[in-house]
Amino acid sequence: MPPRVSTVEFRVRYAETDQMGVVYHANYLIWCEVGRTDHIRAAGTPYRDIERQGITLAVSEAAMRFHAPARYDDRIRVETVLSKVTSRTLVFDYVVSNADTGARLATVSTTLISLDPEGRVTAMPAALRAKLATVSSGAP
């Protein structure tokens, strides 16, 4: 089965625009984080709780392609999937679009690695990994 997709929507904030009159590109990484937070919560493992277990998930790689600009007050949709789960890494893929027109604005992929409190790469706890694998596999 394809991985589950979760969807979040929100409006562009004025602070997110720049003098080109469009959203500054770095903000898309923040929007993807909003999508990722929502996706992990939907998996039954709020990220806040993951950090309380002593695990942080840090972005180790990101790839972004920008297709069309977003503007102030546009309604934005972020669709997130967890496309890959290993013992130490997670790959999330995102499609950012205009919720009103459906126009695709950006496609983004981020790799996260699991770190212990000292910042060393570590395997995720088995229970966490199992929950995330379920979401990724698309199992109901």
How would DSSP label each residue in 16-31?
GB-TTSSB-TTHHHHH
Q: Could you tell me which residues are beta bridge partners of residue 56?
A: 115
> Does residue 18 interact with a second copy by CB under 8 A?
yes
Q: Is 73 a catalytic residue?
A: no
**Residue 98, CA distances (Å) to 39, 95, 126 in order:** 19, 10, 37
Tell me the C-alpha distance between 113 and 24, whole Å: 26
> Which residue in 1, 119, 120, 126 binds a second copy (CB under 8 A)?
119
> Which residue in 27, 86, 89, 122 binds a second copy (CB under 8 A)?
27
> Does residue 66 interact with a second copy by CB under 8 A?
yes
> Which residue in 5, 7, 42, 56 binds a second copy (CB under 8 A)?
56
- Token pair of 132, please? 């995330």
The site for a second copy (CB under 8 A) is made up of 10-11, 13-15, 17-22, 24-27, 29-30, 33-34, 37, 46-48, 51, 56, 58-66, 69, 72-73, 119
